[in-house]
Amino acid sequence: MKKIGSFIAGILLSATVFAGTSEYVVQRGDTLSKIANKNKISVQKIMQFNNLKNMNFIREGQRLKLMPMYSQKNLNEQMVMAANWYQTSGEMQALSYQAFNMAKIIYYADLTSNKDNEQKRAVVVDIDETVLNNSPYDAGSIETNNSYPKEWNDWVKSEQAVPLPGAVEFLNFVVKNKGDVYYISNRSVKLLQPTINNLKKFGFPEADKEHVLLKGKTSNKEPRREQVAKNHRIVLLMGDNLNDFSYVFRGKTMSEKADLVDNLKSQFGNKFVLLPNPLYGDWEGDIYKGNWGMTPEQKNKARKEHLVKWE
Ligand SMILES: [Mg+2]
């Protein structure tokens, strides 16, 4: 009798300790629906967090997780070093100058070697992590459960993104030297005005409705590039994502992209100029095989499975 009493007390104590927190101990008469109701969580989530295959199969005394073992907050922690590098390293700053210096060399070479071409020159640049630095937005998710696109629109509307080193100078050089600048970005068209304001604030040239081409119906940038190419000759393209250069990378897997980059190697530093971005990108989705709906736990696992380690 005494043994049973202490056993029940133990269950009650556990239920008290864990109730409303991250764990629940199943009591006699509990069903998953009852537990879900009691803890304001869905049955599906409890099943997911506990790898339960059958909702009717729970037993008294079983400990159920009410929160994922590995949360978005845990996953965000993995961004700390990338954000530190992006925001504080002289190497990042130097790489940005290097990209815009290279762009200037390419543009200048075209000015001198293609003197007789009558078509107006254009330089096409992406915006985010190519000419504007949004890393405070990404860093802002660290130690929170937030992930993109939460608060993204608010960040853009705050117009606080600063230029990447060398960007403003190079793009002004283009406009002063017989060229137009086109900003082709997958920011939503709804964010056009704050985007223009943000660019203007820091002295970017041609920051207007004609030259800032944001995402309408499709994230495919090719139709917007074609629009520019109708009455311009695109001398070079700049971006932090392979899709900023060509449609051929769209929807491709990690290994297909690797082959395409090899095939197009002569373009990099000649027509395509890449800016570094270790914070986010399509490369992350490639690790998840395009399944962005993975849980943070699954994403963590997929990330670690793709590491190359020595033996
Ligand atoms: Mg970008």
Record: fold of 2-65: Membrane-bound Lytic Murein Transglycosylase D; Chain A (3.10.350)
Question: Sign of dihedral through CA atoms 160, 271, 86, 248?
Answer: positive
User: Residue 186 Cα, ligand 1 centroid: separation in angstroms?
Assistant: 8
**Nearest CA among 189, 279, 192 for reference residue 241:** 279
Ligand 1: distance of its center to the CA of 133 in Å?
Answer: 9
Between the CA of 206 and the centroid of ligand 1 the distance, in Å, is 19
Measure 214 CA to ligand 1 centroid, in angstroms: 12
Range(s) of the chain covered by CATH 3.10.350.10: 2-65
Structure tokens at 169: 């100078």
Q: Give the Å distance between the CA of 280 and the centre of ligand 1.
A: 9
Q: pLDDT tens for the chain, 311 residues: list them.
A: 445 555 544 444 444 444 446 899 999 999 999 999 999 999 999 998 898 999 889 999 999 999 888 999 999 999 999 999 999 999 999 999 999 999 999 999 999 999 888 899 999 999 999 999 999 999 999 999 999 999 999 999 999 999 999 999 999 999 999 999 999 999 999 999 999 999 999 999 999 999 999 999 999 999 999 999 999 999 999 999 999 999 999 999 999 999 999 999 999 999 999 999 999 999 999 999 999 999 999 999 999 999 999 99
Instruction: Please give the pLDDT value at position 17.
Output: 42
- Tell me, in angstroms, the distance from the centre of ligand 1 to residue 128's CA: 4
276-304 b/e with 16+ CB inside 10 Å = b? bbebbebeeebbeeeeeeebbbebbeeee
- Bridge partners (DSSP) of residue 131 are none
Residue ranges matching CATH 3.40.50.1000 in the chain: 74-299
The amino acid sitting at 10 is G
Alpha carbon of 130 to ligand 1 centroid (Å): 6
Pick 74-299's CATH classification: 3.40.50.720, 3.30.540.10, 3.40.50.2020, 3.40.50.1000. Answer: 3.40.50.1000
136 C-alpha vs ligand 1 centroid, how far in Å?
Answer: 15
Which residue carries 């199969």 as its tokens?
Answer: 57
Q: How far is the CA of 309 from the centre of ligand 1 (A)?
A: 29
User: Both tokens of residue 211?
Assistant: 């030259």
What pLDDT does residue 151 have?
98
Ligand 1 centre to CA of 166 (Å) is: 16
